[in-house]
Amino acid sequence: MKFVKRNYGWMIVTILAIVPLFIILNMLTFDFSNGVAIALFKNAGSDGMTTLEMMYHISGEFAIRWMTAVLTCTPFFILFGVNNLFVRQAMGISTAVWSLLHFIIFIIAEGFLETFTQANYIVGFVAVLIVIPLLITSNRKSMKKLKGTWKKLQSFSYAAIFLSLLHVALLDKTWVIYAVIVGFGFIIRIPLIKEKIIAFRKNRRISKV
């Protein structure tokens, strides 16, 4: 019970990140009669998309959603005073896993060399390259070993979200909502605004006592 109480936030994030994977798994068929053979369900896509295109679309959507969620952690702390480093860490891992899955599906569908044929693909590829070291160092051992460098490394997540938004925008997808959320978060981070919000929150708490 102590483990669950201490890590319930991390567990909730993990569950929320894993459950959508079943949508993608339901688009695959597994044959164990002669080793392991994996194939795509035909016509599992919608809106005129093939099954592989639908998998690519879903993985990309969850990658950008988790990346946006990670960047809302600090604004959430400023607004409500609630902070959990390991929940943020779990969100970061979820972002990296979905981003890598999105890129792997793209390679399967189009081939690796296709990555360098369009600006939006290159931008997305660079974002994935940034996410990989963030994933590798998203553990307590790396935090202790890297110390101050760890925070500097994790700050590259801002570049990753910017490139991801650019990637989505170049694809003419619905990206405005993510840009608004991220933009609002950065406004709250402005020192003057941040200090006023924290001061207001503290004064309100004192007045209630």
Query: Per-residue pLDDT for 125 more than 90?
Result: yes
pTM (two decimals): 0.84
Per residue in 58-100, pLDDT tens?
A: 898 899 888 888 888 888 888 887 777 678 888 888 999 999 9
The interaxial angle of helices 176-189 and 157-170, nearest 10 deg, is 150
Q: What is the domain extent for residue 138?
A: 2-208
- Count of domains for the chain: 1
CA dihedral 89, 91, 93, 95 (to 10 degrees): -140
Q: What is the CATH number of the domain that holds 185?
A: 1.20.120
pLDDT tens figures, 147-166: 778 888 888 888 888 888 88
Residue 29, H or E segment: strand 28-31
- Distance (Å, rounded) from C-alpha 161 to C-alpha 168? 10
Identity at 96, one-letter amino acid code: A
